[in-house]
Amino acid sequence: MDVSCIHCNAKHFAAERISNKGDSFHDCCNHGKVYLEPLPEFPHFLRALYEGNHEKSNHFLNYIRSYNSSFSFAFFNANMINFSERRPGPYCFKIQGQIYYQVNTALYAAENENPTYGQLFIVDSNEAINYRLQQTSNLDLEIIHNFEYMMRKYNIFTQSYQMMGEELENQRRKETESNNLFPELQLIFTLKPGMDRRRYNIQRTNEVATIFSTTADGDIPESYVIIRNKSTKILQKVSTMDPNVEPWVYLLFFPYGTQGWHRNLIKINSNKRIIRGQYIKYRIAIRNEFNVFILDRRLFQQWLVDNYVKIEKDELWETFKLEMSEDYIRKEIEIFIWDEAPMAPRYALEIMDRTLRDIMNNNLPFGGKIVILGGDFRQLLPIKMHASRSEIINLSIKCSPIWKYFKKFPLIQNMRLLPEEIEFAKYLLDMGNGILNDTNNCIQIPENCLASPDDNIVNDIYGELIKKKEFMEMSKCAILSARNIDVDEINKEVVELLDTTNERIYTSIDSIVNDNNDNEINKVLLPEYLNSLSPPSLPPYELRLKPYCIIMLIRNLSINDGLCNGTRLMITELQNHLLKCMILTGDKTGDIVFINRITLYCENRRQFPIKLAFAMTINKSQGQTFEKVGIDLRRDVFNHGQLYVAFSRVRSWQTLKIYLGKQRDNKYVKNYPVSKIIFQQRY
C-alpha cells in the first residue's frame, strides 16, 4: 500500500486507482467529498494498551469485548451465532436479525441487585470496581482501576451521572434542613437547540449533553433518554440512528463521549448527507496516524457487523424521509385515519407512534397528531400462525400501552344493513358479543336463512345467473368459507359451470431460492414437487380460467390504480401473456386493467398474481358488502369474529343462505367471540 489519497492521505494499492482520477480514491473519502474531524487524542494509558506498549496489552486485546461491555451505558442486543461448538478457526462475529439497544432509565439498582452500566458511576469508584470484577471474573484489576479513573475524569456521560448523584445528595440535604419535599429530579439526555452540531469535536464544558429537570412527568420535546431517581428497572429502547448510541455502547472507541455517526453529517461543498457506509469507510481507512478502530480486534469485528447491519435500515429511513418530508407532515397532515384497525397487530400502531414522535421531534403520543381508528372488535383479530388464544389477544391494539390515549366513540347505527332490518341488526350484535352462545360455544342457525341439506351451494348462488349470462349480477355474489381448501374446491365447481369454449390453462414456472447454490438441493426438489405446492400466499401452479371468471389479486400491483391485495376483478379477455380485467371493488370500479405474470416469493413462482374468487375465505371478505352470500359451514369456523364477519357481509336475512351439509345432525355451529377484547377498553 504505497499510494496515498490526495484528499485524506489514506493508503491504497496502486491497483485500486480509478481511471482518470489519479491518486483520488472512492473507498476512503469518496474523492474528497467526505471529511470527518479526527477523534480527540486518546488517554495515554488506553493508547499504550492498543499499541502494544503495555505489558498487559495482549490480555486487554484478548478480552476487549468484556472490558468494553463492563463500562458501557447501553445494552447491545442481537441474536448472536455461537461458534464455540464448531471446528476451530479464526474468530467470527455473526448475528441474525436486527440490532437494538436499551438503556436502564433507573438511576439506582433494584433491591437485591447490583448496580450496572450507568448506575456504577454514582457509587464510589472502589465500590464500582468491585462490582465490575464480580460481573466478569477475567478482568484485570489494574486495567479496571485505570479505566475507572479515565472515565470519571474525561467522559461527558460519566460526569453527567456523577453530577446527578451530587445533585440528589444536595437535594436530600436541603429537604432535611427545610423539612420540605422537592420535585423529582431527572437527568435528560437531549439534543439541545443551538448546541454545536460538529459532533466529532471533543465536547467542551459549556456544551452540555444533559439537562437537570425538576418536572415529575414533563419531558422536554428534544429529550430522548430520561434517567429518573428510581430503583425500578425500566429498559428504554434507543434508536440505532441516535448519535449517542456508539459512545454509549463502544466506550473504548469514544472514551470522551464523542458522538458517532448521525444524520446531520454533511459532505464537503454539498448539502447531501454522509451515509453510514461512507462514515465507516473513512474511519477504517489506513493512514499514518493512530486509528483505534482497526486495532480493536474482536471489538472491531462487532462494531463493523453492528454498523453493516444498520446500513440498510438507515437507507430505508432516508427514502421514507425523502418521500414524505417532515415539513409536509408538520404543516399539512393533521389527522390520520386507520380503517379496520382491530385486524392490525399492536406493533404496527406502536411503530407508527414512535415514527411520528421521531419526525415531529417531541414525546407526545403520535407526535401530537390526531389518529382516528375505525373498526369493530367483534370482527377478526390480528393473525399469527400457530398462536394460542392468549397470544392472539396480546397482539390486539387494545393490549398496547398506547391504547390508553384513545377515546371511544361508539356508532349507534349499522350503516350496512337496510333500515327495516332491526331484528337482523340485533341478531348480529348478539352473535358478535357471544350472547347467543351456549355452554359449548355454539349458536343455533335461524330457520329463515338455513338451506336444505340437499341444496347445492354452487348452483343456488351462481347457477341461474350463469345460465342467464347475468355476469355483472354474478360479481355481486360470494360464497364464504373458513378454510382455503374448501374455497379452492368451490371455485373449481363454479368455473365448471361457465362456457368452456374459451378456457385457457396458465401454468407457472417454479424454482427455489438457493443462496448457497447447492446442487444437491436442486436435484432433490424436482419441478414436479414444486408444482404440487399450493401455499395460501401463492397462486396455484395451474390456473384454469374462462371469460367472466371472478378473480382476486393476492399482491399489491398499483395502489393508485386500485390494484391492491384483495381487489376483486372480472376477466373480460384471456390472452397469451395478459389478462384483461374489470375492477369490481373500490373507487376504481368499472376500470379496465391488464394483469401480467410476475415472480412471487418465497419460492420463485412466476404466475399471474391472482386466485379465483367466486368463493373466498371469511378473512378475505372483511370490509366488503355483497347482495347475496352463501356461507359454507360444513366445517366450523375456528377463530374470533369469523362467524360475525360472514353473517354481516349482507344487508338482510333474505340475501343470506347458510349451508350445513348432510353430515350435521343439528343446526348448531361454533362461535368464538373473545369477550375480553370486545368489552374491556383498557389493558
Q: What is the mean pLDDT of residues 581-600?
A: 91
| Structure confidence at residue 88 (pLDDT) | 61
State which of 354, 377, 405 marks the end of a domain: 405
**What does pLDDT average to over the chain?**
81
Whether residue 477 is found in the same domain as residue 373: no
The answer, yes or no, to whether residue 490 has pLDDT greater than 60, is: yes
| Structure confidence at residue 18 (pLDDT) | 84
Q: What is the mean pLDDT of residues 252-260?
A: 87
Could you give the number of structural domains in the chain?
Answer: 4
Among 517, 539, 519, CA closest to 599: 539
Whether residue 339 is found in the same domain as residue 244: no
- DSSP per position, 98-152: EEEEEEE-BSSPPTT----GGGGGSS-HHHHHHHHHHH-TT--HHHHHHHHHHHH
The answer, yes or no, to whether residue 560 has pLDDT greater than 90, is: no
Q: Which stretch of 233-237, 526-530, 610-614, 627-631 has the lowest confidence by average pLDDT?
A: 233-237
Contact 549, 573 (CB under 8 A): no
Position with higher pLDDT, 372 vs 178? 372
The answer, yes or no, to whether residue 595 has pLDDT greater than 60, is: yes
Q: Which helix (H) or strand (E) holds 431?
A: helix 422-433
| Structure confidence at residue 232 (pLDDT) | 52
CA distance linking residue 445 with residue 451, whole number of Å: 10
The answer, yes or no, to whether residue 287 has pLDDT greater than 70, is: yes
Position with higher pLDDT, 97 vs 314? 314
Contact 293, 50 (CB under 8 A): no
Q: Which amino acid is at 514?
A: N
- C-alpha cell, 330: 408538520
CA distance linking residue 163 with residue 169, whole number of Å: 10
| Structure confidence at residue 318 (pLDDT) | 56
The answer, yes or no, to whether residue 67 has pLDDT greater than 50, is: yes
Residue at 379 is within a domain: yes
Q: What is the mean pLDDT of residues 185-204?
A: 44
The answer, yes or no, to whether residue 233 has pLDDT greater than 50, is: yes
| Structure confidence at residue 444 (pLDDT) | 93
Whether residue 24 is found in the same domain as residue 150: no
Give residue-wise pLDDT tens across range 129-179. 888 888 777 888 999 889 888 888 888 888 887 777 777 777 777 777 777
The answer, yes or no, to whether residue 604 has pLDDT greater than 70, is: yes
The band of 195, judged by pLDDT with boundaries at 50, 70 and 90, is very low
| Structure confidence at residue 71 (pLDDT) | 84
Whether residue 259 is found in the same domain as residue 115: yes
Q: Which stretch of 1-5, 31-35, 522-526 has the lowest confidence by average pLDDT?
A: 522-526
Whether residue 97 is found in the same domain as residue 73: yes
Residue at 441 is within a domain: yes
The answer, yes or no, to whether residue 294 has pLDDT greater than 90, is: no
Q: Which stretch of 248-257, 281-290, 355-364, 547-556 has the lowest confidence by average pLDDT?
A: 355-364
The band of 462, judged by pLDDT with boundaries at 50, 70 and 90, is very high
The answer, yes or no, to whether residue 64 has pLDDT greater than 60, is: yes
State which of 272, 302, 332 marks the end of a domain: 302
The answer, yes or no, to whether residue 645 has pLDDT greater than 90, is: yes
The band of 524, judged by pLDDT with boundaries at 50, 70 and 90, is low
Position with higher pLDDT, 611 vs 227? 611
Length of the chain as a residue count: 683
Whether residue 647 is found in the same domain as residue 623: yes
Residue at 307 is within a domain: no
Position with higher pLDDT, 9 vs 535? 9
Whether residue 25 is found in the same domain as residue 55: no
Give residue-wise pLDDT tens across range 408-419. 998 877 777 777
Residue at 102 is within a domain: yes
Residue at 411 is within a domain: no
CA distance linking residue 166 with residue 292, whole number of Å: 33
- DSSP per position, 379-404: SPPPP-TT--HHHHHHHSGGGSGGGG
The band of 319, judged by pLDDT with boundaries at 50, 70 and 90, is low
The band of 322, judged by pLDDT with boundaries at 50, 70 and 90, is very low
| Structure confidence at residue 316 (pLDDT) | 61
Residue at 681 is within a domain: no
Task: Indicate the pTM of the whole model.
Answer: 0.56
Give residue-wise pLDDT tens across range 420-455. 788 998 999 999 999 999 999 999 999 999 999 889
Q: Which stretch of 436-445, 498-507, 512-521 has the lowest confidence by average pLDDT?
A: 512-521
Whether residue 285 is found in the same domain as residue 347: no
| CA angle (306 as vertex; 143, 323 as ends), nearest 5 | 140
- C-alpha cell, 53: 506498549
| Structure confidence at residue 619 (pLDDT) | 92
Among 588, 634, 602, 592, CA closest to 615: 634
178-210 core/surface letters (b: 16 or more CB in 10 A; e: else): eeeeeeebbbbbbbbeeeeeebeeebeeeeebb
Whether residue 97 is found in the same domain as residue 168: yes
The band of 636, judged by pLDDT with boundaries at 50, 70 and 90, is very high
- Domain range spanning residue 277? 44-302
User: How many CA atoms does the CB half-sphere of 584 hold within 13 Å?
Assistant: 27
The answer, yes or no, to whether residue 10 has pLDDT greater than 70, is: yes
Whether residue 82 is found in the same domain as residue 2: no
Whether residue 399 is found in the same domain as residue 294: no
Residue at 399 is within a domain: yes
Instruction: Using DSSP, state whether 336 is helix, strand or coil.
Output: strand
The answer, yes or no, to whether residue 212 has pLDDT greater than 80, is: no
| Structure confidence at residue 578 (pLDDT) | 93
The band of 196, judged by pLDDT with boundaries at 50, 70 and 90, is very low
Contact 494, 477 (CB under 8 A): no
The answer, yes or no, to whether residue 100 has pLDDT greater than 90, is: no
- C-alpha cell, 146: 485505570
Q: Which residue has the cell 472490558?
A: 67
Residue at 670 is within a domain: yes
> Which DSSP state fits 29?
H
Whether residue 401 is found in the same domain as residue 495: no
Q: What is the mean pLDDT of residues 486-503?
A: 93
